[in-house]
Chain A
Amino acid sequence: MLEIINDYWLFFLIGQYPHGPLGGLAGTLLLATICLILALPCSILIAIGRTGKNRFWRGVTFVIVYVMRGTPFLMIIFWAHFLGPIIFGTSIGAFWVMVIALVLYESAYLAEVIRAGIESLPYGQTEAAKAMGFSRTKTMILIVLPQVMYNSFPALLSQFVSIIKETSLGFVIGVHEFTFAASQVNSILLVKPVEIYLILGLTFFIVCFTFTSAARWLERRIGKSQGVLPA
Chain B
Amino acid sequence: MITVENVNKSFGKLRALQDISGNFPKGTVTVVCGPSGSGKSTLIRTLNRLEEIDSGRITIDGRDIYEPNINLDQFRMSLGFVFQQFNLFPHLSVLDNITLAPRRLKGIARDEAEQMASDLLRRVKLSGKEHEYPESLSGGQAQRVAIVRCLAMQPKIMLFDEPTSALDPEMISEVLDVMGDLASEGMTMVCVTHEMGFARSVANSIWFLEDGQKHGEFPVDDFFQGTTDPRISLFLSHLNRE
Q: Which residues of A does B touch, CB under 8 Å?
A: 122, 124-125, 127-128, 130-135, 138, 142-143, 146-147, 150, 225, 228-231
Q: Is B105 located at the chain interface by the 8 A CB criterion?
A: yes
Whether the Cβ atoms of B76 and A133 lie closer than 8 Å is yes
Besides A122-B87, A132-B77, A143-B89, 4 new A-B residue pairs in contact (Cβ under 8 A), listed by A number: A125-B89, A132-B105, A133-B73, A225-B135
Tell me how far the C-beta of B223 lies from the nearest C-beta in chain A, rounded to whole angstroms: 28
Measured between beta carbons, the chain B residues less than 8 angstroms from A147 are 89-91
- The interface residues of chain A, by DSSP majority, are classed as helix
Contacts of B77 in A (CB 8 A): 132-133
A132 and B83 within 8 A (CB): no
Say yes or no for B100: interface residue by CB 8 A criterion. yes
Total A-B residue contacts, Cβ distance less than 8 Å: 69
- By a CB distance below 8 angstroms, the chain A residues around B149 are 132
From B86, B90, B91, B153, contact of A132 by CB (8 A): B153
Chain B contacts with A in 65-105, Cβ cutoff 8 A: 73-77, 79, 81, 83, 85-91, 100-101, 104-105
For A124, the chain B residues whose CB sits under 8 A away are 83, 85, 87
Distance in Å from the Cβ of B171 to the closest Cβ of chain A? 12
In the bound complex, do residue A131 and residue B76 qualify as a contact, i.e. CB atoms below 8 Å apart?
A: yes
B102, chain A: closest CB distance, angstroms? 10
Known: A133-B76, A134-B104. Contact between A231 and B90, CB under 8 A? no
Report if B142 contacts A (CB, 8 A).
yes
B87 and A133 contacting across the interface, CB-CB below 8 Å:
no
Partner of A133, one of B50, B85, B105: B105
State whether A230 and B73 are in contact (beta carbons under 8 Å apart), knowing that A132-B105, A133-B153 are contacts in the complex.
no
Q: Can you show 17 pairs from A to B with CB atoms below 8 A apart?
A: A124-B83, A128-B87, A128-B88, A130-B76, A132-B77, A132-B149, A133-B73, A133-B74, A133-B75, A134-B73, A147-B89, A147-B90, A229-B90, A230-B85, A230-B137, A230-B139, A231-B85
Given the known interface contacts A127-B50, A132-B76, A138-B104, the answer about A230 and B83 at a Cβ–Cβ threshold of 8 Å is no
Pick the contact of A135 from B73, B86, B139 — CB < 8 Å? B73
Q: Are A230 and B101 in contact (CB under 8 A)?
A: no
CB distance from A222 to the nearest CB of B (A): 11
Q: Which residues of B contact A135 (CB under 8 A)?
A: 73
In the complex, residue of chain A having the shortest beta-carbon distance to the beta carbon of B139: A230
Choose among B73, B75, B134 the residue that contacts A229 (Cβ–Cβ < 8 A).
Answer: B134
